[in-house]
Structure 1
């Protein structure tokens, strides 16, 4: 029973966090699985996060937006945006590595993919940072409230052109994507709903000094509109409320959540039906998460092999296990750590990107604050297709060389497989993986590197 509980909690923290080391896992096993779920959920919203808050804040200072056509100002501004974005990526990766509330950071990453917004178009790191704070602070509450706040978020208003939505010339981008990608899904709205939604959001903007939502009544269409079957003098807040209250919305959101934390499902799947009561009329994200983690299918074999780690969660989890920060600097003194030696300077796929975890994540296909499009990143095959086995091995070797693998190095060769599993927060190896790892037990760096590319580790 204790071994099963240990295995279950290890799965829970791989999906709802960034893995555990053996000592952390032992402590949680004593209290049991349900208690481990409680611990994770207690970290949502405004809960203290001493680990995450210890990370230095990003430097977001940028010059004023450049004058139109002034190439000198444009180049200077672009350089400052690039530097601020790089520091912001470092900050968030370090938060994931250091956080005391891992579910809150994992949920922030989920919402970043769901409400995918890119600095490449927004061009304002402060707006992107404030959106990230919004996800972290409100992401575990009511989805209805979160959707209202996201609709008024400055980065989102730039990204999907709400700031260009004027009475004389409505812009349909946000109205369409809010239904298709954020609340209802494909096929659950009409073009007339898009038009009415766009008219309702006219006059929305944000204050450039304090980065807060403002409403311009002179640019708003106060006329009657029919939206998702309801007619009235709707404004933007009304539109969000109507969309999130539709019966299709809970299934859409719950299917997205289950697919992110367990394994991909359709909105019609029975497991989604099972979650509806916990989500409820209050659209409780924390209630839905509890129901997900306590659902029997969450601990099934399908879940255990149902997802490929995204590059960011893969790297953050590995860094936590190996005692590294986002710059691949050891976070504690380790005289015995292999990382005390310089990184190999051999030419690899990675070196041209610069050796930091955010840059490696970008090389693997996932740039924080810069998703590929409004649909965000894909799942499973998306990552297997974009990342070759050779690149995975290069990443594994880089991490193993820099990280603290002293517990593996100090173990007798016959015990190094178990020591490696404990180091990486895994509960063991399949026979095929064990056979491969047994070939390199005399070489700890290669052993850990190979383990980091194994199905047991790559599958979340």
Structure 2
């Protein structure tokens, strides 16, 4: 693999979910700069998710009898599953890899849980449409969604009875980060967000009778501030640009922060009025992005792992709910982060249990086999496996998946050697163990399965 192709492979591992063999002929003719432009061009348009047609009327649910409530809960569950699977399918098939990769980043940055799949879909589409746009616009729109207002209790934030939850997380997790504000700033900020609410149709509502119109002192400034003013003042602090850029660096470059690189990123982000696209263009064209110490060093998030496998082998699932079992077993169920801080990522993705599944899932899926999950079958839906540590009962599940081996094999350029195949499937350097696999395996299909069943395939 040429040095240029090695860099392009790295670009697609970070700006997307994987490089496929079918891309090699086209991308091999491009410079890195041209490949970066192609990545952005493919993600110019946003394709909103519309799998959930409308909102469940929860007022009717609360008034319903037990039988009707059960039907509501079943419908709610089906919507949650459908939304999750639809996004995995989108990530697995779209050419707009960068937009979906950044939507996944914002999904974790603005971590949110809601039992209302329609609200979750709305939030997801806001993150997708603004994924490469302007952070202020994204932040403002996310802050006004029913999903986030409900999750962080701003529905209960009223004058004379302020609720500080949203105001606190806005600063601690979404903008300037811990240590850059005081408890008094939290209290004053909460007053500014009083009355922020939403209507039944999911649209934002500012309720003036519930809003505190008194003077507020926030970050050293005093005025009759509203929520929008607080957001503007947070963005005026360069600490916000640094906070976001550090998270992006760890997501796209390296778990170990480089303060000089992050500082330059923050300058570009802050001076560019928080435009996301120029920041990403800087990262993907920086010489340091392509140094060896920044390649093959990040552990794939479970969803990245699943999606990358789907993309590279053109996998379809006769039983799509199996994907949800994978997410549960590996510790990342979309739309269900562990808390408002999101998934911690990095080495936290790997423990003895999840690593076992990560190594076993590729060969099982690619061979249409059976996998054993350490969990109980959900009595309402046998496709869901609750893989909590409290449950030890083993459950055997047939994967019911099909890789398009003909398409995979035909996509490998003629004359590609086994080492080059390994270098395309793996972003980490070829170790002695990988070289041994290459030397002893003559069948290309068997080689591919062995390679994606290695620890090295867990890295990007």
TM-score by length of 1: 0.84
The corresponding residue for 2:20 is 21
Please tell me whether the aligned partners of residues 10 and 427 of structure 1 are also in contact (alpha carbons under 8 angstroms).
no
The corresponding residue for 2:457 is 457
Please tell me whether the aligned partners of residues 329 and 357 of structure 2 are also in contact (alpha carbons under 8 angstroms).
no
Whole-angstrom distance in 2 between the partners of 1:69 and 1:186: 44
Equivalent of 1:139 in 120, 131, 137: 131
Please tell me whether the aligned partners of residues 8 and 35 of structure 2 are also in contact (alpha carbons under 8 angstroms).
yes
- Give per-residue Cα distances to partners, 1:18-49, cap 9 Å, x unaligned: 112123133123121001111222344xx346
Unpaired stretches in structure 1, ≥5 consecutive residues? 330-353
The corresponding residue for 2:90 is 95
Q: Does 1:273 align with 2:263?
A: yes
Secondary structure at the aligned position of 1:231 is classed as: strand
- Give per-residue Cα distances to partners, 1:112-145, cap 9 Å, x unaligned: 0100011xxx211011001111011112112122
The corresponding residue for 1:105 is 100
The corresponding residue for 2:308 is 317
TM alignment of 1:184-203, pairs within 5 A: 184-203=176-195
Q: Does 1:228 align with 2:227?
A: no
Secondary structure at the aligned position of 2:119 is classed as: helix
Please tell me whether the aligned partners of residues 399 and 449 of structure 1 are also in contact (alpha carbons under 8 angstroms).
no
The corresponding residue for 1:348 is none
Q: Does 1:290 align with 2:281?
A: yes
Please tell me whether the aligned partners of residues 9 and 424 of structure 2 are also in contact (alpha carbons under 8 angstroms).
no
Whole-angstrom distance in 2 between the partners of 1:307 and 1:393: 17
RMSD: 2.6
Residues paired across the two proteins, number: 420
Secondary structure at the aligned position of 2:335 is classed as: coil
The corresponding residue for 2:41 is 42
Whole-angstrom distance in 1 between the partners of 2:408 and 2:229: 58
Whole-angstrom distance in 1 between the partners of 2:191 and 2:163: 8
The corresponding residue for 2:365 is 399
Q: Does 1:176 align with 2:168?
A: yes
CA deviation after TM superposition for structure 1 residue 453, in Å: 3.1
Equivalent of 1:300 in 282, 285, 291: 291
Quick one: structure 1 residues 7 and 197, their matched pair in 2 at CA, closer, same or farther if it must change by over 3 Å? same
Equivalent of 1:373 in 309, 326, 339: 339
Quick one: structure 1 residues 26 and 457, their matched pair in 2 at CA, closer, same or farther if it must change by over 3 Å? farther
The corresponding residue for 1:344 is none
Whole-angstrom distance in 1 between the partners of 2:262 and 2:14: 18
The structure where strand makes up a greater share of residues is 2
The corresponding residue for 1:115 is 110
Q: Does 1:58 align with 2:59?
A: no
CA deviation after TM superposition for structure 1 residue 161, in Å: 1.1
Quick one: structure 1 residues 147 and 397, their matched pair in 2 at CA, closer, same or farther if it must change by over 3 Å? same
Please tell me whether the aligned partners of residues 52 and 118 of structure 2 are also in contact (alpha carbons under 8 angstroms).
no
CA deviation after TM superposition for structure 1 residue 328, in Å: 5.7
Secondary structure at the aligned position of 2:360 is classed as: helix
Please tell me whether the aligned partners of residues 408 and 420 of structure 1 are also in contact (alpha carbons under 8 angstroms).
no
The corresponding residue for 1:333 is none
The corresponding residue for 2:121 is 129
Quick one: structure 1 residues 133 and 63, their matched pair in 2 at CA, closer, same or farther if it must change by over 3 Å? closer
Quick one: structure 1 residues 302 and 183, their matched pair in 2 at CA, closer, same or farther if it must change by over 3 Å? same
Please tell me whether the aligned partners of residues 10 and 425 of structure 1 are also in contact (alpha carbons under 8 angstroms).
no
Per mean C-alpha deviation after superposition, the further-off stretch among 9-18 and 396-405 is 396-405
Whole-angstrom distance in 2 between the partners of 1:409 and 1:30: 21
CA deviation after TM superposition for structure 1 residue 302, in Å: 2.1
Whole-angstrom distance in 1 between the partners of 2:160 and 2:72: 32
Secondary structure at the aligned position of 2:62 is classed as: coil
Please tell me whether the aligned partners of residues 140 and 231 of structure 2 are also in contact (alpha carbons under 8 angstroms).
yes
CA deviation after TM superposition for structure 1 residue 444, in Å: 3.3
The corresponding residue for 2:79 is 84
Whole-angstrom distance in 1 between the partners of 2:196 and 2:300: 37
Whole-angstrom distance in 1 between the partners of 2:5 and 2:421: 16
CA deviation after TM superposition for structure 1 residue 436, in Å: 3.7
Whole-angstrom distance in 2 between the partners of 1:257 and 1:316: 20
Please tell me whether the aligned partners of residues 421 and 427 of structure 1 are also in contact (alpha carbons under 8 angstroms).
no
Secondary structure at the aligned position of 2:350 is classed as: helix
CA deviation after TM superposition for structure 1 residue 168, in Å: 2.3
- Give per-residue Cα distances to partners, 1:258-316, cap 9 Å, x unaligned: 110111244x7111112133212411111111111122221122211321000101111
Whole-angstrom distance in 1 between the partners of 2:208 and 2:169: 24
Please tell me whether the aligned partners of residues 426 and 456 of structure 2 are also in contact (alpha carbons under 8 angstroms).
no
Whole-angstrom distance in 1 between the partners of 2:358 and 2:182: 44
CA deviation after TM superposition for structure 1 residue 356, in Å: 2.6
Quick one: structure 1 residues 408 and 70, their matched pair in 2 at CA, closer, same or farther if it must change by over 3 Å? closer
Please tell me whether the aligned partners of residues 91 and 97 of structure 2 are also in contact (alpha carbons under 8 angstroms).
yes
Whole-angstrom distance in 2 between the partners of 1:152 and 1:188: 23
The corresponding residue for 2:349 is 383
- Give per-residue Cα distances to partners, 1:214-264, cap 9 Å, x unaligned: 110000000011111111100000011111211211110111111101112
